[in-house]
Amino acid sequence: MDDLYRENLMDHYQHPRHHGPMAECDAEAEGQNPLCGDQVVVQVKLANGTIEEMRFTGHGCAVSQAATSMLTELVQGLTVDEAAALPSQAILDELAIPLSAMRVKCAVLGLGTLKLALHRAAGTPLPAEWGDTDEMVWS
């Protein structure tokens, strides 16, 4: 039981970091996971091609919201290219809990949304496995 919803995950879920809207941002996107009803809006402040701050708002399951909160800390100071290339495993490692394939979508919702925001603002490539999609809606 407690191996699933560890203290770290619950801490990020109940006290999300960099949470709440940003007055002015350089990149923004919304992501949805219709299967669960998870939703996040990601906003990014850039400085010289690096992420000065990522903030988010949204609602959904503990995994999606905690993972996005962890992501805000993970990407701070990364270049947009580094963030665009960040593998899903990076966020799964942060969560450090066993997840079924369905819940992996919850876990990487924030990361996908961040990549979409950067793609729109800075032209970074979207993950190849997205195909020709330019929306962040898991199916």
**Residue 63 makes contact with other proteins by CB under 8 A:** yes
Query: 38 vs 94, which CB is nearer to other proteins?
Result: 38
Binding piece for other proteins, criterion CB under 8 A, among 56-64, 68-76, 107-115, 131-139: 56-64
DSSP 79-122: BHHHHHT--HHHHHHHH-S---HHHHHHHTHHHHHHHHHHHHHH
Site string (100-119) toward other proteins, x via CB under 8 A: ---x--x-------------
Query: 11 vs 93, which CB is nearer to other proteins?
Result: 11
**Residue 47 makes contact with other proteins by CB under 8 A:** no
Name residues whose C-beta falls within 8 Å of residue 97's C-beta, 6 or more positions apart in sequence. Answer: 3, 4, 5, 6, 9, 63
How far apart are the C-alpha atoms of 8 and 67, rounded to whole Å?
Answer: 10
- Residues 2-31 binding other proteins (CB under 8 A) are 2, 4-5, 10, 14
CB of 61 to other proteins, least distance (A): 4
Pairing of strands 27-33, 136-137: parallel
Q: Let me know: does 43 contact 55? Beta carbons within 8 Å.
A: yes
**Residue 127 makes contact with other proteins by CB under 8 A:** no
